[in-house]
Amino acid sequence: MRVSIKLLRVACAVILCAPLLVSASDVHGQGGCVSFGQARKAGWVSGLNLRPAGSVKKSVEERTGGKVVSFKVCRSGPTYKLTVMRPDGNVMTVTEPAQ
């Protein structure tokens, strides 16, 4: 019975900490790309003097005719990586200069 309680505690700790580990690895696994909110918290938006996200989103939506469903900021470049759902249901990725 004692082993089961220890195992349960370890399992709970892993479940609670897993999102933190995934978030940290996402930055490295995606070439340094993070959500716009994460980029703002990290000081990238002001520190790198990035173009306004709203105008970039609007421009991409007008150009593709689709809807932006994901907006990432990539430190390399820096660039914006947007995932767009087109009216025909196809998904495309658009990379835009962020400065």
- What would the DSSP string read from start to end of 60-86? HHHHHSSEEEEEEEETTTTEEEEEEE-
pLDDT tens by residue, 66-87: 999 999 999 888 999 999 999 9
Cβ atoms of 46 and 62 within 8 Å: the answer is no
Rounded CA separation 96/99 (Å): 9
Rounded CA separation 88/78 (Å): 30
More confident residue, 42 or 94: 94
> What predicted TM-score, i.e. pTM, was given to this entire model?
0.65
pLDDT tens by residue, 13-33: 444 444 433 344 444 444 589
Domain chopping of the chain, boundaries: 1-30, 31-99
